Structure 1
Amino acid sequence: MATEGDISPREAEVLELLGAHFSNAEIAAQLFISVRTVESHVSSLLRKLGVPDRRALALRAAVDRPRREPVPLPAPLSSFIGRARERGELSGMVTAHRQVTAVGPGGVGKTRLALAVAAELAGRYTDGVWFVDLIPVTDPGMIATAVAGALGLGEQPGRDLTESVVAALADRHALLVLDNCEHVVDGVALLLERLLAACPRMTVLATSQARLMVPFERVYPVPPLSLAVDGESDAVALFVERAAAAGLPLDPALRGRIASICERLDGMALAIELAAARCPTLGLDGITSALSHPLRMLTGGSRTDERHRSVRAVLDWSHALLEPADQELLHQMSIFVAPFTASAAAEVTGATMDVVTDGLARLAEQSLLTVTASPRGTSYRALEAIRQYGTERLSQAGELAGARARHLRWCFTQAVDLAAAGPDWRARFDAVADDLRAALTWAAGEPERRTDAHDLARHLAELTFTRHLIGESQQRYEQAAALADEPAATASMFRKAADVAGCRTRGDDMYRLHRAAADAARRAGDTARAAVDLATAATAAYRFSSTFVRIPPEEEAVALVSEARELAGDDPAAEAAVALAEAGVLSDAFGAVQGPADNAVPETLARAERAVELARRIGDPLAESAALDALTAAHAWAGDTFACAATAGRRVTLLSSMADRPETPGGVHELIDGLGMAVQTSLGVGNLADARRWGRQLADHPALAEVGHRATCWLLVADALAGNADDVLSGSTRFLDAWRRAGSPAKAALGPAADAVAMIHSFRGDHEREWQEVLDRLGEPSERTYGYGALYDAMRMLHHGQAGEAMERMAPEPGEVWKWVTWIWLHWYVAIRAEATVLAGSPVARDRLADARTITAGNPVAGAVVERAGSLLDQDRERLLATADVFEAAGCRYQAARTMVLAGGEHAARGAAALADLGLGPMTVSVSPW
Structure 2
Amino acid sequence: MTVTTEVSAREAEVLALVGQHLSNAEIAAKLFISVRTVESHVSALLRKLDVTDRRALAGFSQAPSRNPLPTPLTSFVGRVPERAALAELLAAHRQVTAVGPGGVGKTRLALAVAAEIGAGYPDGVWFVDLVPVTGPGPCVVAAAVAAAMGIGEQLGRAMTESVVDALADRSVLLVLDNCEQVRDGVAPFLEKLLSSCPRVAVLATSRARLMVPFERVYPVPPLSLEGGGESDAVALFLDRAAAASWPPNHALRDPIAAFCARLDGMALAIELAAARWSALGLDGLTAGLADPLRMLEGGSRTDERHRSVRAALDWSHALLDPQDQALLRRLSVFVSPFTLDAAAEVAGATADGLARLAEQSLLVVTPSPAGTEFRMLQTIRQYATDQLTATGELDQARARHLAWCACQADRLAGLGPEWRVRFDAVADDLRAAQGWSEDYRLTRRLAELTFARKLASESQIRFEQAARLAPDPAEAAEMFRQAAAVAGCRIRGDDTYRYLLAAAEISPDPAAAARDLATAATTTHRFWGKFDQLPTRQETVALVERAGELAGDDPAARAAVALAEAGVLSDAFGAAQGPADNAVPETVARAERAVELAHRLGDPLAESAALDALIGAQCWAGDTFGTAATARKRIILLAALPDTPAATHELLDALGMAAETALGAGDLPGARRAGRQLADHPLMSEVGHRGSCWLVVTEALAGDTDAVLRHGERFLESWQRAGRPAKSALAPAAAAVAMVHGLRGDEEQRQRWLGVLETMGVTPECTYGFGAVFDAIRLLDQDRAAEAAERLVPEPDEVWKWVTWIWLHWYVALRAEAAVLAGHPQAAARIAAAREIVTGNPVATALVDRADALLAGDDERVRATAAALRAAGCDYQAARSQRLSGSPARGGSSRTG
**TM-score w.r.t. structure 1 length?**
0.89
Asked if 1:873 corresponds to 2:850, the answer is: no
Among 99, 102, 106, which residue is 1:103 paired with? 99
Structure 2 counterpart of 1:711, one-letter code: G
Q: 2:676 maps to what in 1?
A: 696
8 A contact 1:861–1:887 mirrored in 2: yes
Distance 2:24 2:887 in 1: 115
Cα 1:602–1:52, aligned 2, differ >3 Å: closer, same or farther?
A: closer
Q: 2:597 maps to what in 1?
A: 614
Q: 1:185 maps to what in 2?
A: 183
The Cα shift of 1:125 comes to 2.9
Among 71, 76, 79, which residue is 2:75 paired with? 79
Report the 3-state secondary structure (helix = DSSP H, G, I; strand = E; otherwise coil) of the residue aligned with 2:798. coil
Please say which of residues 473-482 and 586-595 is displaced more in the overlay.
Answer: 586-595
Write out aligned runs for 1:452-531 (5 A).
453-521=439-507, 524=508, 526-531=509-514
Asked if 1:793 corresponds to 2:775, the answer is: yes
Distance 1:515 1:206 in 2: 67
Cα 1:758–1:94, aligned 2, differ >3 Å: closer, same or farther?
A: farther
The Cα shift of 1:421 comes to 1.7
8 A contact 2:3–2:50 mirrored in 1: no
Q: 1:551 maps to what in 2?
A: 534
Report the 3-state secondary structure (helix = DSSP H, G, I; strand = E; otherwise coil) of the residue aligned with 1:371. strand
Structure 2 counterpart of 1:305, one-letter code: D
Among 892, 899, 904, which residue is 2:886 paired with? 904
8 A contact 1:590–1:630 mirrored in 2: no
Report the 3-state secondary structure (helix = DSSP H, G, I; strand = E; otherwise coil) of the residue aligned with 2:559. helix
Asked if 1:923 corresponds to 2:896, the answer is: yes
Please say which of residues 169-178 and 569-578 is displaced more in the overlay.
Answer: 169-178
Cα 1:713–1:149, aligned 2, differ >3 Å: closer, same or farther?
A: same
Among 825, 837, 856, which residue is 1:855 paired with? 837
Please say which of residues 642-651 and 755-764 is displaced more in the overlay.
Answer: 755-764
Among 353, 359, 384, which residue is 1:359 paired with? 353
Q: 2:523 maps to what in 1?
A: 540
8 A contact 1:615–1:627 mirrored in 2: yes
- Give a deviation string over 1:221-278, Cα, whole Å, max 9, x none: 2222233426413333333333333335433333344334323322222222222333
CA RMSD, aligned part only?
Answer: 3.1
Q: 1:212 maps to what in 2?
A: 210
Report the 3-state secondary structure (helix = DSSP H, G, I; strand = E; otherwise coil) of the residue aligned with 1:475. helix
Distance 1:442 1:216 in 2: 48
Q: 2:550 maps to what in 1?
A: 567
Distance 2:715 2:28 in 1: 90
Q: 1:324 maps to what in 2?
A: 322
Distance 1:27 1:394 in 2: 66
Please say which of residues 368-377 and 470-479 is displaced more in the overlay.
Answer: 368-377
- Give a deviation string over 1:319-347, Cα, whole Å, max 9, x none: 01011111110000001111111111111
Please say which of residues 586-595 and 364-373 is displaced more in the overlay.
Answer: 586-595
Asked if 1:888 corresponds to 2:870, the answer is: yes
Distance 1:510 1:137 in 2: 67
8 A contact 2:566–2:590 mirrored in 1: yes
Please say which of residues 166-175 and 680-689 is displaced more in the overlay.
Answer: 166-175
Report the 3-state secondary structure (helix = DSSP H, G, I; strand = E; otherwise coil) of the residue aligned with 1:130. strand
Distance 2:833 2:726 in 1: 37
Distance 1:773 1:427 in 2: 44
The Cα shift of 1:804 comes to 2.1
The Cα shift of 1:725 comes to 3.1
Asked if 1:651 corresponds to 2:634, the answer is: yes
8 A contact 2:230–2:253 mirrored in 1: no
Q: 2:259 maps to what in 1?
A: 261
8 A contact 1:584–1:590 mirrored in 2: no
* Residues paired across the two proteins, number: 887
8 A contact 2:67–2:124 mirrored in 1: no
Among 813, 825, 850, which residue is 1:831 paired with? 813
Cα 1:712–1:59, aligned 2, differ >3 Å: closer, same or farther?
A: farther
- Give a deviation string over 1:20-44, Cα, whole Å, max 9, x none: 7x98x8788777799x989977995
8 A contact 1:542–1:590 mirrored in 2: no
Please say which of residues 881-890 and 670-679 is displaced more in the overlay.
Answer: 881-890
Q: 2:367 maps to what in 1?
A: 373
Distance 1:265 1:50 in 2: 56
Cα 1:325–1:566, aligned 2, differ >3 Å: closer, same or farther?
A: same
Structure 1 counterpart of 2:239, one-letter code: E
Q: 2:579 maps to what in 1?
A: 596
Cα 1:272–1:848, aligned 2, differ >3 Å: closer, same or farther?
A: same
- Give a deviation string over 1:449-490, Cα, whole Å, max 9, x none: xxxx11111000000001010000010000000001200000
8 A contact 1:590–1:633 mirrored in 2: no
8 A contact 1:15–1:61 mirrored in 2: no
Among 787, 800, 803, which residue is 1:818 paired with? 800
Distance 1:718 1:757 in 2: 11
Asked if 1:753 corresponds to 2:733, the answer is: yes
Report the 3-state secondary structure (helix = DSSP H, G, I; strand = E; otherwise coil) of the residue aligned with 2:823. coil
8 A contact 1:14–1:27 mirrored in 2: no
Structure 2 counterpart of 1:481, one-letter code: A
Distance 1:685 1:418 in 2: 44
Cα 1:333–1:639, aligned 2, differ >3 Å: closer, same or farther?
A: same
Report the 3-state secondary structure (helix = DSSP H, G, I; strand = E; otherwise coil) of the residue aligned with 1:178. strand
Asked if 1:629 corresponds to 2:629, the answer is: no
Q: 1:382 maps to what in 2?
A: 376
Distance 2:335 2:314 in 1: 21
Structure 2 counterpart of 1:360, one-letter code: L
Structure 2 counterpart of 1:121, one-letter code: I
Q: 2:431 maps to what in 1?
A: 437
Name the % identity. Answer: 63
Structure 1 counterpart of 2:854, one-letter code: L
Asked if 1:134 corresponds to 2:130, the answer is: yes
Q: 1:417 maps to what in 2?
A: 411
Cα 1:624–1:60, aligned 2, differ >3 Å: closer, same or farther?
A: same
- Give a deviation string over 1:512-561, Cα, whole Å, max 9, x none: 0000000111xx2x000000000000000111000000000000000000
Distance 1:244 1:4 in 2: 54
Structure 2 counterpart of 1:897, one-letter code: A
Structure 2 counterpart of 1:430, one-letter code: D
The Cα shift of 1:808 comes to 2.5
Please say which of residues 857-866 and 612-621 is displaced more in the overlay.
Answer: 857-866
Please say which of residues 239-248 and 328-337 is displaced more in the overlay.
Answer: 239-248
- Give a deviation string over 1:683-718, Cα, whole Å, max 9, x none: 101111211222232233233245433333222222
Distance 1:340 1:197 in 2: 40
Cα 1:198–1:732, aligned 2, differ >3 Å: closer, same or farther?
A: farther
Report the 3-state secondary structure (helix = DSSP H, G, I; strand = E; otherwise coil) of the residue aligned with 1:70. coil
The Cα shift of 1:786 comes to 2.4
Report the 3-state secondary structure (helix = DSSP H, G, I; strand = E; otherwise coil) of the residue aligned with 1:377. coil
Report the 3-state secondary structure (helix = DSSP H, G, I; strand = E; otherwise coil) of the residue aligned with 1:72. coil
Cα 1:37–1:543, aligned 2, differ >3 Å: closer, same or farther?
A: farther
Structure 2 counterpart of 1:858, one-letter code: G
Structure 2 counterpart of 1:495, one-letter code: R
Distance 1:199 1:745 in 2: 75
Q: 2:224 maps to what in 1?
A: 226
Structure 2 counterpart of 1:655, one-letter code: L
- Give a deviation string over 1:800-847, Cα, whole Å, max 9, x none: 222222222323332333222221111001111221121122223222
Distance 1:199 1:159 in 2: 17
Distance 1:552 1:737 in 2: 30
Distance 1:126 1:743 in 2: 66
Distance 2:123 2:3 in 1: 26
Q: 1:679 maps to what in 2?
A: 659
The Cα shift of 1:389 comes to 1.3
Asked if 1:119 corresponds to 2:101, the answer is: no
Structure 1 counterpart of 2:308, one-letter code: S
Report the 3-state secondary structure (helix = DSSP H, G, I; strand = E; otherwise coil) of the residue aligned with 2:776. helix
8 A contact 2:15–2:57 mirrored in 1: no
The Cα shift of 1:190 comes to 1.5
Please say which of residues 219-228 and 321-330 is displaced more in the overlay.
Answer: 219-228
Structure 2 counterpart of 1:529, one-letter code: A
Please say which of residues 742-751 and 195-204 is displaced more in the overlay.
Answer: 742-751
Please say which of residues 144-153 and 755-764 is displaced more in the overlay.
Answer: 755-764
